[in-house]
Structure 1
Amino acid sequence: MLESLQQKEPPSEFVDVAERNRKNQSHGVNRADRLCQDEDFAAAQEEWEAVQCVEPILRSPHKEDFHKSPKKHIDGSSSSPAKSPAKSSQGLPPNVKITPHTDFDEVWDFFTRQDMSHVMGSIKPTLEQRGVNGLFRSIFGPKKLKAELIEERNLLFAIAQCQFDNNEPIHLQILQTVYKVLTSTKIDCPRFGSHWDVIGFQGVDPATDLRGVGLLGLVQALYLLTHEPLLPLARDIFRLSHDQHSQFPLMVLSINVTRISLQTLREGYLNKECNSRSNVRHVLNQFFTAVLFHIYWIWKTESKTIKDSGFIIKDAEAYCKRNVKTVLQKLQAQLRKYSHDEAEML
């Protein structure tokens, strides 16, 4: 699935969501007809009837409503955001939910308290090279990660081994947050349906796109959308993904960038930055964002299309892993520009 962005063109739905909806109405096509064979789809359709169509324009949420910890908006006795009850909404059907947003810090806190032993045995956090290549790499290759950071690194790889679980509330909460922030909606969307293509998933079930990098693919997208300084960049990338010429499936691209980030960490190219900052997760997230910005900038300034995606991703992976410091600096320069532009508008 990770290769799907490089192998095939995006579905026609990406060209114009509104136009697609008009065509569906004119031909008598509706979501219930398409999903009636599946009970889950039928249930999702009932929920979705209460939600009006929205334009896919990401807006910066109000700080008091979004950037506060979700725990402050829910029952204080809850032990984790995963167990948080959805907000009740007067005037809405009883089967319609408004799940509070979560963020990266909440999710990280959740995973640090979980028993991850069931996946730890299958992670591959480093390259295991033996013989001459191994000796050469040990002498001339990247620095080793500090011992005190190994546990944090391994947890990141363990999260990437975790698959989406419909029975785990926090998994659903992450998915809902990503969708609602990008589309500026408040009501939870159905778990299955064609609406996921609005944010760049392929098919009616986002979990099928996540298999290559597990939950980490969603968690890093969550970081992009809940870290306030990154919101202007997230907005620009989302808009470009819906541009008639440059359109691309955003979430599939994001998942590819998560794969690149993990591989760069595995090969040791992020170790120097991690050691310097005494942190792995923030370096990995910053690098993820830097690679995404690198691809976005090339895509935009060189008027690339989905047909160029394979070459862009391949070149970005090769360049970014060899120039970690440079791409991180370029990202920071762009974020300062966003901050300066916003200050001038005040």
Structure 2
Amino acid sequence: MTPEPLRDPRFLPFKLDLVGQRALWVRLDATQRRDAAFLDERALPPSPEGGWLSLEAWRQAAPAASAPAADAIFHIGHCGSTLLSRLLESWPEVEALREPLPLRSLAEVWDSRGDALSRVSADDAEALLDAAWAAWSRPLPPRSRSLVKATSGCNGLVEPLLQRQPTLRAVLLDMPLRPWLATLFKSPDSMSDAASAAPSRLRYLQSRGLADGLALHAMSLPEQCAMGWLAERLRFDALAAGPLGHRVLRVDFETLLDAPGPTLATIADHLGLAAEGVAVAVTSPAWGRYAKAQAHDYGRDDRAHDLALSLQRHAASIAEAEAWLGRWQAAHPDASFGGTVGG
């Protein structure tokens, strides 16, 4: 495949093959992008147009002129990030790209980049992150701004992206522990996601010196979920309090549900979006749809009913997770994680 897609915003970097040192580029139109909850195999049209390009050709290509760097939503998973990305599409200039696979691939190798066993050097990983973000920052006309909604396993890239993309602004989305656990426990797939993220989240606690005595093999699944929630809370707190904190905004999904107008106004101000768009976002049909499958009705009352049922059915597991967090807090009385167990 020729490097032509590098200059054509209709094509997106869709998949990284680090073994074969190549990237798959796929052409997706505005409707396909808007409909996709995940930019992975599920988003491919029946006869996709595109092809593979070597990473060497991608890295060496002169960067094409692009719109301002895409802004981002990072989150803890299963906390309303897809809904928020759809609400932000209420602004006519915003094109949202949800969970592009290459970002996840880069997140998976980021901490080991340059190691002897890594398939990508530190310099090449950073160059690929820059190149991919530039490609995701080219919305299809008439949209003029891009927003990338990352996969929850990509939170280790928040700080590198803020450092490397000086105009990028990020929303950091989470929710209190109890409703988050209730959300996870009502879905085996959600529990699997949380378990898959546990190693990287424990590694973050280790990097902060806050994981003494912790080992995944000695922790129950509810305890691993509580640990993951804690790790991301601490990460988001550190980002907000750090030197780049003015470019991140902490958002609680429960607050968004309880006070959508004021919360969306704060998010719009943070991202530099017109205040007039808030009224459109507040009345968006996305509120009454299942965010990942817009054909299905699913409103706030449906969610409240499901959570109440999950809290009842999984009370013992939720109590186990909360007890673990209480023990951790007792062992680390000076550590703050942006809230209490219940809120």
Common fold: TM-score over 0.5: no
Larger relative contact order (CA 8 Å, sep ≥ 6): 1
TM normalised by structure 1 equals 0.21
**Which protein has the bigger strand share?**
2
**Which protein has the bigger helix share?**
1
